[in-house]
Structure 1
Protein backbone atom coordinates (compact mmCIF):
# COMPACT_ATOMS: atom_id res chain seq x y z
CA UNK A 1 0.00 0.00 0.00
CA UNK A 2 1.28 3.44 -0.92
CA UNK A 3 -1.00 5.32 1.48
CA UNK A 4 -2.79 4.82 4.77
CA UNK A 5 -6.20 5.70 6.11
CA UNK A 6 -4.51 8.58 7.94
CA UNK A 7 -3.29 9.93 4.59
CA UNK A 8 -6.90 9.82 3.38
CA UNK A 9 -8.09 11.62 6.52
CA UNK A 10 -5.39 14.26 6.14
CA UNK A 11 -6.32 14.93 2.52
CA UNK A 12 -10.15 14.79 2.66
CA UNK A 13 -11.10 14.98 6.31
CA UNK A 14 -12.06 12.18 8.66
CA UNK A 15 -15.78 12.94 8.57
CA UNK A 16 -15.98 12.86 4.76
CA UNK A 17 -14.06 9.59 4.45
CA UNK A 18 -16.02 7.92 7.25
CA UNK A 19 -19.34 8.97 5.68
CA UNK A 20 -18.31 7.49 2.32
CA UNK A 21 -17.12 4.28 3.99
CA UNK A 22 -20.29 4.02 6.08
CA UNK A 23 -22.41 4.28 2.93
CA UNK A 24 -20.72 1.10 1.66
CA UNK A 25 -21.27 -0.99 4.80
CA UNK A 26 -23.30 -4.12 4.06
CA UNK A 27 -25.43 -5.53 6.86
CA UNK A 28 -25.81 -9.27 7.40
CA UNK A 29 -29.50 -10.14 6.94
CA UNK A 30 -29.46 -12.79 9.66
CA UNK A 31 -27.50 -11.06 12.41
CA UNK A 32 -27.99 -7.42 11.55
CA UNK A 33 -24.24 -6.91 12.02
CA UNK A 34 -21.99 -5.19 9.49
CA UNK A 35 -20.08 -7.58 7.24
CA UNK A 36 -17.07 -5.24 7.13
CA UNK A 37 -15.86 -2.49 9.38
CA UNK A 38 -15.34 1.06 8.20
CA UNK A 39 -11.57 0.54 8.48
CA UNK A 40 -11.75 -2.54 6.24
CA UNK A 41 -13.70 -0.65 3.60
CA UNK A 42 -11.17 2.22 3.59
CA UNK A 43 -8.28 -0.24 3.54
CA UNK A 44 -9.82 -2.13 0.59
CA UNK A 45 -10.23 1.13 -1.36
CA UNK A 46 -6.56 1.95 -0.71
CA UNK A 47 -5.48 -1.57 -1.71
CA UNK A 48 -7.49 -1.37 -4.94
CA UNK A 49 -5.97 2.01 -5.80
CA UNK A 50 -2.45 0.73 -4.99
CA UNK A 51 -2.99 -2.31 -7.22
CA UNK A 52 -4.16 -0.09 -10.08
CA UNK A 53 -1.04 2.07 -9.70
CA UNK A 54 1.16 -1.04 -9.66
CA UNK A 55 -0.27 -1.94 -13.06
CA UNK A 56 0.98 1.34 -14.49
CA UNK A 57 4.40 1.54 -12.84
CA UNK A 58 5.45 -2.11 -12.83
CA UNK A 59 7.05 -1.77 -16.26
CA UNK A 60 9.22 1.13 -15.07
CA UNK A 61 10.44 0.17 -11.59
CA UNK A 62 10.89 -2.92 -9.46
CA UNK A 63 7.98 -3.57 -7.12
CA UNK A 64 7.35 -3.27 -4.22
CA UNK A 65 8.48 0.34 -3.87
CA UNK A 66 10.63 0.81 -0.78
CA UNK A 67 10.56 4.61 -0.60
CA UNK A 68 7.13 5.84 -1.64
CA UNK A 69 7.23 9.19 -3.46
CA UNK A 70 4.66 11.75 -2.31
CA UNK A 71 3.08 11.72 -5.76
CA UNK A 72 2.09 8.06 -5.28
CA UNK A 73 0.55 8.81 -1.88
CA UNK A 74 -1.56 11.52 -3.53
CA UNK A 75 -2.45 9.24 -6.43
CA UNK A 76 -3.65 6.49 -4.11
CA UNK A 77 -5.69 8.92 -2.04
CA UNK A 78 -7.39 10.37 -5.13
CA UNK A 79 -8.18 6.95 -6.60
CA UNK A 80 -9.33 5.50 -3.26
CA UNK A 81 -11.55 8.53 -2.63
CA UNK A 82 -13.10 8.10 -6.05
CA UNK A 83 -13.61 4.38 -5.38
CA UNK A 84 -15.33 5.16 -2.09
CA UNK A 85 -17.58 7.79 -3.65
CA UNK A 86 -18.34 5.89 -6.87
CA UNK A 87 -22.08 6.57 -7.11
CA UNK A 88 -21.93 10.03 -5.53
CA UNK A 89 -18.64 11.24 -7.00
CA UNK A 90 -18.43 14.97 -7.56
CA UNK A 91 -17.14 16.53 -10.77
CA UNK A 92 -13.95 17.43 -8.90
CA UNK A 93 -13.43 13.83 -7.77
CA UNK A 94 -14.00 12.66 -11.34
CA UNK A 95 -11.56 15.26 -12.74
CA UNK A 96 -8.91 14.44 -10.12
CA UNK A 97 -9.23 10.74 -10.93
CA UNK A 98 -8.89 11.42 -14.67
CA UNK A 99 -5.81 13.60 -14.03
CA UNK A 100 -4.17 10.83 -11.98
CA UNK A 101 -4.91 8.25 -14.68
CA UNK A 102 -3.34 10.52 -17.33
CA UNK A 103 -0.32 11.03 -15.06
CA UNK A 104 0.05 7.25 -14.56
CA UNK A 105 -0.25 6.65 -18.30
CA UNK A 106 2.62 9.09 -18.85
CA UNK A 107 4.67 7.33 -16.17
CA UNK A 108 3.99 3.99 -17.89
CA UNK A 109 5.04 5.49 -21.24
CA UNK A 110 8.27 6.81 -19.72
CA UNK A 111 7.34 10.46 -20.31
CA UNK A 112 7.30 11.26 -16.58
CA UNK A 113 9.58 9.90 -13.87
CA UNK A 114 8.60 9.11 -10.32
CA UNK A 115 12.08 10.08 -9.20
CA UNK A 116 13.02 6.46 -8.61
CA UNK A 117 15.60 4.38 -10.41
CA UNK A 118 14.66 1.07 -12.01
CA UNK A 119 15.51 -0.75 -8.76
CA UNK A 120 13.24 1.82 -7.01
CA UNK A 121 15.94 3.51 -4.98
CA UNK A 122 15.68 7.27 -4.75
CA UNK A 123 17.58 9.02 -7.53
CA UNK A 124 20.30 11.42 -6.47
CA UNK A 125 19.05 14.94 -6.03
CA UNK A 126 20.17 17.22 -8.81
CA UNK A 127 21.12 20.75 -7.87
CA UNK A 128 20.96 23.46 -10.49
CA UNK A 129 24.02 25.45 -9.53
CA UNK A 130 25.76 27.94 -11.77
CA UNK A 131 29.50 27.36 -12.00
CA UNK A 132 31.62 30.26 -13.23
CA UNK A 133 35.14 29.64 -14.47
CA UNK A 134 37.63 32.17 -15.70
CA UNK A 135 40.19 31.99 -18.45
CA UNK A 136 42.53 33.93 -16.19
CA UNK A 137 43.42 37.58 -15.94
CA UNK A 138 43.82 39.49 -19.19
CA UNK A 139 46.30 41.92 -17.62
CA UNK A 140 48.57 39.39 -15.95
CA UNK A 141 52.32 40.08 -15.98
CA UNK A 142 52.94 36.79 -17.77
CA UNK A 143 50.68 37.88 -20.66
CA UNK A 144 51.84 41.45 -21.05
CA UNK A 145 54.90 40.58 -23.15
CA UNK A 146 56.99 43.33 -21.66
CA UNK A 147 54.28 45.99 -21.60
CA UNK A 148 53.90 45.92 -17.77
Structure 2
Protein backbone atom coordinates (compact mmCIF):
# COMPACT_ATOMS: atom_id res chain seq x y z
CA UNK A 1 0.00 0.00 0.00
CA UNK A 2 1.30 3.41 -1.01
CA UNK A 3 1.61 5.90 1.83
CA UNK A 4 0.05 9.26 1.19
CA UNK A 5 0.98 12.44 2.98
CA UNK A 6 -2.15 14.46 3.71
CA UNK A 7 -0.43 17.85 3.78
CA UNK A 8 2.71 19.21 2.18
CA UNK A 9 5.22 21.84 3.27
CA UNK A 10 3.40 24.68 1.50
CA UNK A 11 0.06 23.79 3.11
CA UNK A 12 1.68 23.60 6.54
CA UNK A 13 3.39 26.98 6.13
CA UNK A 14 0.12 28.54 4.93
CA UNK A 15 -1.66 27.38 8.09
CA UNK A 16 1.08 27.92 10.68
CA UNK A 17 3.11 30.74 9.19
CA UNK A 18 6.68 30.83 7.97
CA UNK A 19 8.20 32.15 11.19
CA UNK A 20 6.71 29.43 13.37
CA UNK A 21 7.54 26.76 10.78
CA UNK A 22 11.17 27.89 10.95
CA UNK A 23 11.05 27.82 14.77
CA UNK A 24 9.55 24.31 14.71
CA UNK A 25 11.96 22.78 12.19
CA UNK A 26 15.26 24.71 12.23
CA UNK A 27 17.40 22.43 14.37
CA UNK A 28 20.68 23.79 13.03
CA UNK A 29 19.95 27.48 13.65
CA UNK A 30 20.15 28.42 9.97
CA UNK A 31 17.05 30.61 10.06
CA UNK A 32 15.21 28.57 7.45
CA UNK A 33 12.64 25.81 7.20
CA UNK A 34 14.18 22.35 7.40
CA UNK A 35 12.15 20.50 4.76
CA UNK A 36 13.47 17.10 5.87
CA UNK A 37 12.28 17.58 9.46
CA UNK A 38 8.92 18.94 8.33
CA UNK A 39 8.33 16.23 5.72
CA UNK A 40 9.11 13.50 8.24
CA UNK A 41 6.69 15.00 10.77
CA UNK A 42 4.00 15.33 8.08
CA UNK A 43 4.55 11.69 7.11
CA UNK A 44 4.32 10.60 10.76
CA UNK A 45 1.08 12.53 11.22
CA UNK A 46 -0.32 11.11 7.97
CA UNK A 47 0.49 7.61 9.17
CA UNK A 48 -1.33 8.35 12.42
CA UNK A 49 -4.37 9.50 10.42
CA UNK A 50 -4.24 6.32 8.31
CA UNK A 51 -4.45 4.29 11.51
CA UNK A 52 -7.84 5.83 12.21
CA UNK A 53 -9.13 5.70 8.63
CA UNK A 54 -7.98 2.21 7.63
CA UNK A 55 -10.94 0.33 9.09
CA UNK A 56 -13.51 2.49 7.32
CA UNK A 57 -11.90 3.75 4.10
CA UNK A 58 -9.86 2.11 1.34
CA UNK A 59 -6.37 3.58 1.48
CA UNK A 60 -4.72 5.44 -0.10
CA UNK A 61 -7.59 7.84 -0.66
CA UNK A 62 -8.01 8.97 -4.26
CA UNK A 63 -8.46 12.58 -3.18
CA UNK A 64 -7.56 14.27 0.08
CA UNK A 65 -10.51 15.98 1.76
CA UNK A 66 -9.67 19.43 3.10
CA UNK A 67 -10.33 18.43 6.71
CA UNK A 68 -7.53 15.84 6.53
CA UNK A 69 -5.09 18.55 5.43
CA UNK A 70 -6.07 20.58 8.51
CA UNK A 71 -5.87 17.57 10.82
CA UNK A 72 -2.46 16.62 9.45
CA UNK A 73 -1.14 20.16 9.99
CA UNK A 74 -2.51 20.34 13.55
CA UNK A 75 -1.04 16.94 14.46
CA UNK A 76 2.28 17.89 12.88
CA UNK A 77 2.43 21.22 14.69
CA UNK A 78 1.94 19.48 18.03
CA UNK A 79 4.48 16.79 17.13
CA UNK A 80 7.10 19.35 16.13
CA UNK A 81 6.46 21.61 19.13
CA UNK A 82 7.02 18.66 21.45
CA UNK A 83 10.47 18.13 19.86
CA UNK A 84 11.60 21.76 19.58
CA UNK A 85 12.22 24.85 21.65
CA UNK A 86 8.77 26.20 20.77
CA UNK A 87 6.43 26.31 23.75
CA UNK A 88 3.42 24.09 23.43
CA UNK A 89 0.64 26.64 23.84
CA UNK A 90 -2.91 25.94 24.96
CA UNK A 91 -3.99 26.53 21.35
CA UNK A 92 -1.60 23.85 20.02
CA UNK A 93 -2.77 21.37 22.67
CA UNK A 94 -6.46 22.14 22.06
CA UNK A 95 -6.10 21.75 18.28
CA UNK A 96 -4.30 18.43 18.83
CA UNK A 97 -7.03 17.13 21.14
CA UNK A 98 -9.78 18.26 18.75
CA UNK A 99 -7.94 16.55 15.89
CA UNK A 100 -7.79 13.25 17.78
CA UNK A 101 -11.47 13.56 18.65
CA UNK A 102 -12.36 14.17 15.02
CA UNK A 103 -10.27 11.18 13.92
CA UNK A 104 -12.04 8.98 16.48
CA UNK A 105 -15.40 10.18 15.12
CA UNK A 106 -14.28 9.43 11.57
CA UNK A 107 -13.16 5.95 12.59
CA UNK A 108 -16.43 5.20 14.39
CA UNK A 109 -18.58 6.57 11.57
CA UNK A 110 -20.08 9.39 13.63
CA UNK A 111 -18.79 11.79 10.98
CA UNK A 112 -17.82 11.11 7.39
CA UNK A 113 -15.18 12.26 4.95
CA UNK A 114 -17.90 12.51 2.34
CA UNK A 115 -16.31 9.80 0.21
CA UNK A 116 -17.19 6.15 -0.35
CA UNK A 117 -16.39 3.82 2.52
CA UNK A 118 -14.89 0.34 2.25
CA UNK A 119 -17.17 -2.41 1.05
CA UNK A 120 -17.09 -6.12 1.86
CA UNK A 121 -16.91 -7.19 -1.80
CA UNK A 122 -20.69 -7.55 -2.17
CA UNK A 123 -21.09 -3.78 -2.37
CA UNK A 124 -22.20 -3.55 1.26
CA UNK A 125 -20.40 -1.11 3.49
CA UNK A 126 -17.78 -2.57 5.77
CA UNK A 127 -18.70 -1.79 9.36
CA UNK A 128 -15.39 -2.81 10.93
CA UNK A 129 -16.90 -5.77 12.79
CA UNK A 130 -14.66 -8.78 13.36
CA UNK A 131 -16.03 -12.27 13.90
CA UNK A 132 -14.10 -15.17 15.41
CA UNK A 133 -14.98 -18.80 14.87
CA UNK A 134 -13.71 -22.02 16.37
CA UNK A 135 -13.80 -24.74 13.75
CA UNK A 136 -13.02 -27.50 16.23
CA UNK A 137 -15.54 -26.27 18.81
CA UNK A 138 -12.88 -26.37 21.52
CA UNK A 139 -13.34 -24.58 24.77
CA UNK A 140 -10.13 -23.78 26.65
CA UNK A 141 -8.33 -27.04 25.89
CA UNK A 142 -5.00 -27.85 24.26
CA UNK A 143 -5.98 -31.44 23.52
CA UNK A 144 -9.12 -32.89 21.97
CA UNK A 145 -10.86 -33.72 25.26
CA UNK A 146 -13.35 -30.89 24.86
CA UNK A 147 -13.98 -31.52 21.18
CA UNK A 148 -17.56 -32.13 20.25
CA UNK A 149 -18.10 -34.92 17.79
CA UNK A 150 -20.81 -34.73 15.20
CA UNK A 151 -21.18 -38.28 13.89
Q: Using structure 2 for the length normalisation, give the TM-score.
A: 0.68
Other-structure match for 1:102:
101
Matched, 1:75 2:67: no
Distance 2:24 2:95 in 1: 17
Other-structure match for 1:51:
47
Distance 1:109 1:21 in 2: 33
Deviation digits for residues 44-99 of structure 1, max 9, x if unmatched? 11001000000001111100011000000000000001111116211100000000
Matched, 1:41 2:48: no
Other-structure match for 2:116:
117
Task: Give the structure with the larger helix fraction.
Answer: 1
Moved over 2 A (4+): none
Q: Using structure 1 for the length normalisation, give the TM-score.
A: 0.69
Other-structure match for 2:130:
none
Q: CA deviation at 1:26?
A: 6.5
Which consecutive residues of structure 2, in runs of 5 or more, have no partner in the other structure? 119-151
Moved more, 104-113 or 83-92: 83-92
Larger radius of gyration: 1
Matched, 1:16 2:17: no
SS in structure 1 at match of 2:46: helix
Matched, 1:86 2:82: yes
Q: CA deviation at 1:118?
A: 1.9
Q: Superposition RMSD on alpha carbons, in Å? A: 1.9
Give the number of equivalent residue pairs: 109
Moved more, 90-99 or 12-21: 12-21
Distance 1:6 1:43 in 2: 11
Distance 1:26 1:63 in 2: 36
SS in structure 1 at match of 2:67: helix
